[in-house]
Every structure is written in C-alpha cells, then in structure tokens.
Structure 1
Amino acid sequence: MGHVNNAVWVQWMEALATAHWEAVAPPEHQERYAWLVVRHEIDYRGNIREGEVAQATTWIEAPPEGARFERRYEFRSAAGKILVAARTQWAMLDVESGRIMRVPPDVAAPFMTP
C-alpha cells in the first residue's frame, strides 16, 4: 500500500528498546538479564511513505511493577505530527535460570527520569 506496515512499526519499537537498553544498562546487567514482550498497545495516527523520515523517542515513565517494565514510544513526522504513540510492557528474564523475575531497583534506576 506504499506506506509503513504495522509489523515494521513494531520492529522499530523493538530496535529502539534494545538500543536504549544497550546504551544505558551496564554490561553486567546486559549479560545477566533479557527482556520479553508481554503486551503492545499502539495508536496509529498517521503514516509515512518510502523515502520519508520519522523521529522516534522512547522512555520509561514509571518505576517497574514487579517483573513488568512499561516503555513508551512516539514516532513523529518531519513536521512534528505524532504518527504513532505506543507502549509496551516488558518482563525481565534472568538469563541463567530462564525465569521471569522482579526488576531489581538498581536495574531500573538508570532508566528513570528525575
């Protein structure tokens, strides 16, 4: 149909989350923990076509609740219009045990805005 499809927006959300985790989390946390998607909620308000660009932002708005950490996203057009607003609930996985676990405060702290 000549525009970005839903699966691509989700791939971009995952890429943003991964880049944020790798930029902020210390190496020992990256080795010990992994993240699993529990839920996506996406509001499509516009779209872009091939050759157009969008600016993406991701952030953590609130402290984690148990094993779940909610991440927010916005994609904006070059003119600043919100194209996609989304949130994803992620669950933390202990890599060694393979089990979902509560998010430790020291893991969450670097992602919380003051």
Structure 2
Amino acid sequence: MNWDHANPFTLPRVPVAADIDGLNHTNNAVYVRWCEQIGWAHSESLGLGLEDYRRLDRAMAIRRGEYDYILPTFENEELLLATWLVGGDGKLSMARRFQLVRASDRATVLRGRWDLVCIEIGSGKPRRMPQEFLAAYMPAIVD
C-alpha cells in the first residue's frame, strides 16, 4: 500500500447494506464511526483502553475532526483503514491521522485528521497527559 506514513495500525472494513445511503455509496457518517473504532483499537493496542482513561480520570478528546472524502465506496468493497499518531507535544495535545484505501486498486478514498487534547474526565478541562499516556502514546508518534 502507498501509505501516507510508515507503520500504520490497520483494520479491514467492508461496507454492508446498512452503511449505504440514498446515493448508493457508503454514508459519510460511517467513515466517522470507523475512525472512532480504529482510534480506540489503536489506543488499546498501545495499552490504553476506556477503563484506563476512567481510572486515570484523563482522556484524549477530539478538539477538531476533519475529513476529506476523496472517492465513493460501495457495498461489499474491501477497504483497509489505517491510523497513526502524529505531532504530540508531550504535554496536552497530539493528532491522529487516518487513511482509507480501496483494496482492489489501492486508491485512497478518505483522509482524516483529529486534533486531540488531554482532558480531565471529571471536569472536562484540559490537563497535562499523565505518565501512562506519555509512555504509551509518545513512542508511537510518527513524523
């Protein structure tokens, strides 16, 4: 695959009938849901899941989400969704990038980006990343 960054964390995806909208292609909201799913799966693979977030009273919250819908996809098409962590400051913020590729021709059909900020779950206020976040996330950041 021609990935935007090296060493992606990937998940295969195949749109099903319920994912298809009135224009007969995958609904944009489905891509957003898939990005959320791969974000959590990647975080869990790095050792931080929802229970860890609750225990630490910290979370990486989406401050901004941006999606470029490049090409449509259709029911039963084999796709591969990739994600990376990029640009962490080691204090409050980092970003996550996404790339969705169609398996048949390796065309990129979607790119996305989240700007993330560490918050205290109890108050919703920005807080420094705890050591557990730094230990899990910072080594995974790519250029």
Query: Which category describes the TM-score, using the shorter chain as reference length?
Result: 0.7 to 0.9
User: What is the aligned partner in structure 2 of residue 10 from structure 1?
Assistant: 32
| Residue in structure 2 matching 1:87, options 113, 131, 140 | 113
CA distance in 2, matches of 1:61, 1:15: 18
Displacement of 1:6 in angstroms is 1.4
Structure with the bigger percentage of strand: 1
How much is the aligned-residue C-alpha RMSD, in angstroms?
A: 2.4
Does residue 67 of the first structure (1) align with residue 87 of the second (2)?
no
Q: Structure 1 pair 71/101, CA: closer, same or farther in 2 (3 Å)?
A: same
Q: Indicate the SS of the match to 1:58.
A: strand
Unaligned runs of 5+ in 2: 1-22
Q: How many residues align?
A: 114
CA contact (8 A) 1:29 1:107 kept: no
The 3 A distance-change label for structure 1 pair 111 and 96 is farther
Say if 1:58 and 1:73, in contact at 8 Å, map to a contact too. Answer: yes
Identity of aligned residues (%): 26
- Structure-1-length-normalised TM-score: 0.82
Question: Which whole-Å CA distance do the structure 2 matches of 1:65 and 1:42 have between them?
Answer: 25
Letter in 2 for 1:34: A
When residues 16 and 64 of structure 1 are mapped into structure 2, their CA distance, relative to the original with a 3 A threshold, is: farther
1:90 to partner: Cα distance: 1.6
- Could you list the per-position Cα deviations for residues 10-58 of structure 1 after superposition, in whole angstroms to 9, with x for gaps in the alignment? 1111111111111103568543132321111111111211111210110
What's the CA shift for 1:74?
Answer: 0.2
Residues 64 and 29 of structure 1: is their aligned pair in 2 closer, same or farther, counting only changes over 3 Å? farther
